[in-house]
Amino acid sequence: MSFPDTRLRRLRRSEGLRRMVRETRVLPEDLIMGYFVVAGKGVKRPIPSLPGQYHFSVDRLAQEAKEIHKLGLPAVLLFGVTAKKDPEASEAWRSDGIIQRAIQAIKAKAPELVVIPDLCVCEYTDSGHCGILTPDGKDVDNDPTLELLAKIAVSYARAGADVIAPSDMMDGRVGVVRAALDEEGFDQVAIMSYAAKYASAFYGPFRDAAGSGQFQGTRRTYQMDPPNAREALREVELDLEEGADIVMVKPALAYLDIIRLIRETFPVPVAAYNVSGEYALIRHAEKAGAINGPQVIRETLTAIKRAGADLIITYFAREAIEKGYLD
């Protein structure tokens, strides 16, 4: 049947009808909020590159965690920001390091909140790269970096992490991290791998926020080349073989096709990272009066879910739930 017997507008006439036939809903439990943790006490300082986001000291973050858990947010992804950097990222695996203390403090105040430390050394290396450099200093050395990641992952698990999220893009890291966790008795700690992480210009504001922006050279020798889609399937396949429990696509908006491809190929939970540049574009356009922020945020999160993401990591998470942008 076609027009005039079929009229698709019939089911769009009222919000009641639209709600009934709505195919995609973003729920609070789909969202993971990202946080940047800094040294000090009582700190909640605006992040210039991410308007509306803050650098939290451990104590203030624990308070924030309690609040967001009450609001219905299920999980947080944590990034450590430190001035103490060296070639081996030694700040990253100290038992009293910033992330280790943040995990403990959150677990003390909001034990049910799922705590996911991002696992990468770029915030801790003096090079600003996601690994140890080769002897000539020209590239990141894959295999020596793996031992480092395993050591850090174990220390996060010891602090009480529920899930570890390796974001470095070294080959073989999921397997090495899985083995190290198992060996230390953390076989119940899950891995959410940044499986298809592209060398994207959308990470700009993050690098200012995390203090990892000063690096020389490029991340293109380890993060994926943006034009490639089939290669994303290989990355995911390998990570799953190595023991990943959840696979992530990052960034989200310019890679919705990749989210869909992975969703249709693998029967595992898929996460998508609505990254800092995507956040900043919306925030700045909203500030300039060019768009309706709440509506664009709602539409954006819905698009990522509709593409196939089960989980969305987004700096909009708290605001979206608190201000009722979700259905």
At 102, the amino acid letter reads: A
114 sits in which H/E element = strand 114-119
Nearer CB in complex with ligand PBG: 59/199: 199
Of 199, 270, 207, the closest CA to residue 240 belongs to 270
| 250 in active site | yes
Q: What is the DSSP letter of 225?
A: P
- Contact residues for ligand PBG, defined by CB under 6 A: 118, 120, 122, 130, 167, 203, 206-207, 219, 275-276
CB 143, min distance to ligand PBG, A: 18
CB 206, min distance to ligand PBG, A: 3
Nearer CB in complex with ligand PBG: 118/239: 118
CB 98, min distance to ligand PBG, A: 15
CB 273, min distance to ligand PBG, A: 6
Nearer CB in complex with ligand PBG: 10/226: 226
Nearer CB in complex with ligand PBG: 155/167: 167
| 151 in active site | no
CB 235, min distance to ligand PBG, A: 15
Instruction: State the Cα–Cα distance between residues 134 and 140, nearest whole angstrom.
Output: 6
Nearer CB in complex with ligand PBG: 126/184: 126
Contacts of 201 (CB under 8 A, 6+ apart): 277
Please identify which of the residues 250, 287, 305, 323 carries the catalytic annotation.
Answer: 250
Q: Are 36 and 212 a contacting pair, CB within 8 Å?
A: no
What is the Cα 234 distance to its own chain's centre? 20
Rounded to 5 degrees, φ, ψ at 182 are -60, -45
At 89, the amino acid letter reads: A
Contacts of 319 (CB under 8 A, 6+ apart): 52, 297, 325
Please identify which of the residues 197, 287, 305, 323 carries the catalytic annotation.
Answer: 197
Q: What is the DSSP letter of 120?
A: -
Residues marked active site are found at 197, 250
